[in-house]
Amino acid sequence: MENNKPFSDKNLLLLVTLREHQYIDYLAGDLEKYFKRTHVFNFIGYSREHGLSATEDRIRELIRENDIYLVLVIQLATDFELSPEYYASLRGPAKLVFWFFDDDMYFSAVSKYYAAAADAVMTHDYFPSLAYKQLGIPSIYATPIYDPEIFHPVPAAKDIDVCCVCDCTKADRMEYIDFLTAGGIKVETYGHGSKNGFLPEERDISAIYSRSRIVITFSRLDKPRWPVSDDPLLERVRQNKGHFAQIALTRSFCLSEYAPALNLIAGIGSEVAVFNDKNELLSQVRYYLAHDKEREEMADRAYETAKRTFVGAVAFPKLLHELRKTLDDQAPVEPGASPPALSAAFRSNIVNGLTFSFFILLGEGRFSNAGELLTRLFRCGPRAFLSGFPAGTIRALTVFFHKLTGG
């Protein structure tokens, strides 16, 4: 075992729900460097083509045929094709670990039930990492990891006073941006619902950041949608997102909406400036536009920290060393581990998710695979079916309607 490759003697099966996704592909490509062999399997795509039972069988075959030590799962919170019971059944022959990215939003409703089926979980959200431990689930808090080939300084004149690259339709972001504009600040916005629209490539973000004197980013979660739409308090949550890391890697100055765990990855006041409301945002923007030297020194310090912390060549060895130690410290698990207990709401979400997939398969003409999903809708019990099936049907019909009307 190499010092910076704690899994160099082990084989990895990476289960994903997205392929041809730039960030997932980056993670998969970098992970390959740290394992003896890596197999990437898109189980959602395979399930659509071959059916869910065939997908479950194929995963077991991959584990057996390739002497898999670690099954690492990166799945969306809206993907319920593989159940916690199925995941629990994989333990023993292999170690099972989930890697979650939006636990501040999905921990209570989704993530904790999948994590309870696993040997460990890695999460980019600090407070959920503690909540997992309260449940007796080994957890690792992971700092943001980004590709320095995408996020890096770009030589450019600072011709943009303030920029924001984000989904401007979320939460109250446009209210803040409009408040700055009304205060006489020139703001360039990019992304969904923005003035300038989407950037052609993710790598173009670095050029925009590098041209900007101030890059602002927000932390408040958007209005909750399925499967967390019944929890209005989530709108009050401020999430320590990865945008600071991206901005810092471009040697740009970040002004972030405050989040409680931001200080874990950045020095507040020395590497990043923060705001709590509109008035403070306007005040901070005016101050840092007038203090070039202080702003540039903070950006320089953030960049040095980012190079030592957020790039894959540094972050992956640290993360994987901690994971290997966590797994090695555990007692062996007998094959076919007991499945976790599931709440009525989670079972309803399973039915909701499978119902949505059922209609998608029908729309694609995959009638046999759709029929198999239909039989699974009843496994969660009548209560879950009666609440989940109508909700999933409405979601699917809404999508079909928007496609038909171009909405």
In total, the chain counts a number of residues equal to 407
At residue 223, the pLDDT reads 86
- What does the buried/exposed string (b/e) look like for 258-292 if buried means 16 or more CB atoms within 10 Å of the residue's CB? bbebbbebbeeeebbbbbeebeebbebbeebeeee
CATH topology of domain 160-310: Rossmann fold (3.40.50)
pLDDT per position as a tens digit, 222-273: 888 999 999 999 999 999 889 999 999 999 999 999 999 999 999 999 999 9
Could you tell me if 97 and 322 are in contact, meaning their C-beta atoms sit under 8 angstroms apart? Answer: no
At residue 93, the pLDDT reads 87
* β-pair partners for 390: none
Question: pTM, whole model, 2 decimals?
Answer: 0.94
Do 7-144+313-328 and 160-310 have matching folds? Answer: yes
Cis previous bond, 227, omega within 30: yes
C-alpha neighbours within 13 Å on the C-beta side of residue 25: 5
pLDDT over 60 at 1, yes or no: no
Could you tell me if 103 and 128 are in contact, meaning their C-beta atoms sit under 8 angstroms apart? Answer: yes
- Kindly state the tokens that stand for 305: 């920290």
Write the Ramachandran bin of 74: left for phi over 0, alpha for psi from -120 to 50, otherwise beta: beta
- DSSP SS3 for 195: coil
Which candidate, 344, 86, 76, 117, places its Cα nearest to that of 226?
Answer: 76
pLDDT per position as a tens digit, 328-353: 998 777 665 677 899 999 999 999 99
pLDDT per position as a tens digit, 129-175: 999 999 999 999 999 999 999 999 999 999 999 999 999 999 999 99
Domain boundaries, the chain: 7-144+313-328, 160-310, 344-405
- Kindly state the tokens that stand for 131: 């909540």
pLDDT per position as a tens digit, 168-186: 999 999 999 999 999 999 9
At residue 403, the pLDDT reads 85
At residue 23, the pLDDT reads 87
Q: Which CATH number fits domain 7-144+313-328: 3.90.1170.40, 3.40.50.2000, 2.60.40.10, 2.30.30.90?
A: 3.40.50.2000
